C-alpha cells in the first residue's frame, strides 16, 4: 500500500506542475500577444509612410540610460539635457537637477 501511495503522490505533483507550466505559458503568450501587434503595426506604418516616420517609431522604442540613477527610460519619455554638445537623458527632473548640481560642483573645484 505504501508503494501505491507514493505513485499517487508522484502523479498528483506531476499534474500540478504540468498545469502550472501550462498556465505560465498562457500568461506569457497573453503578455507577448498584447505587445506584438502594436510593434508590428508601427513597423508597417513606418515602412509604408517613408523613412522619416520609420525613424520616429524606432526612436519611441529606444531606451536610454539615466546617468544618475541608472534607470532605463524610453527616449520619448526621458527628459533631455544638452551639455557640451552631448545629449544626456534623465528619468526625472530630480535626477537632472542632481546631475547639473554635481557637474557645477566639479567645475567649481576643478
**Taking Cα atoms as reference points, which of 35, 34, 55, 33 lies closest to residue 46?**
55
Beta bridge partners of 39: none
Q: pLDDT at position 34, please?
A: 65
Gyration radius of the chain over CA positions: 25
Residue 51 is placed in which grid cell?
523613412
Q: What is the pLDDT of residue 42?
A: 55
Do 97 and 110 contact (CB within 8 A), yes or no? no
Q: Which three cell numbers stand for residue 64?
A: 536610454
Q: Interior CA angle at 79 toward 102 and 52, to 5°?
A: 135
Q: Which of 58, 60, 67 is nearest to 91 (CA)?
A: 67
pLDDT at 48: 47
Question: pLDDT 10s per residue in the chain (110 long)?
Answer: 799 999 999 999 999 999 999 999 999 888 887 665 555 555 555 554 444 444 555 555 788 888 889 888 888 888 888 888 888 889 988 998 888 888 766 566 55
Predicted local distance difference test score (pLDDT) of residue 100: 86
pLDDT for 86 equals: 87
User: pTM of the predicted model, to two decimals?
Assistant: 0.42
Amino acid at each position: 500500500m505504501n508503494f501505491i501511495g507514493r505513485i499517487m503522490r508522484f502523479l498528483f505533483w506531476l499534474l500540478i506542475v504540468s498545469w502550472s507550466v501550462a498556465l505560465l505559458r498562457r500568461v506569457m503568450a497573453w503578455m507577448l500577444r498584447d505587445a506584438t501587434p502594436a510593434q508590428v503595426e508601427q513597423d508597417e506604418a513606418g515602412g509604408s509612410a517613408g523613412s522619416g516616420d520609420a525613424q520616429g517609431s524606432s526612436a519611441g522604442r529606444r531606451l536610454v540610460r539615466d546617468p544618475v540613477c541608472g534607470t532605463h527610460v524610453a527616449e520619448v519619455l526621458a527628459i533631455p539635457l544638452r551639455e557640451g554638445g552631448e545629449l544626456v537623458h534623465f528619468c526625472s527632473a530630480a535626477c537632472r537637477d542632481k546631475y547639473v548640481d554635481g557637474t557645477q560642483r566639479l567645475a567649481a573645484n576643478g
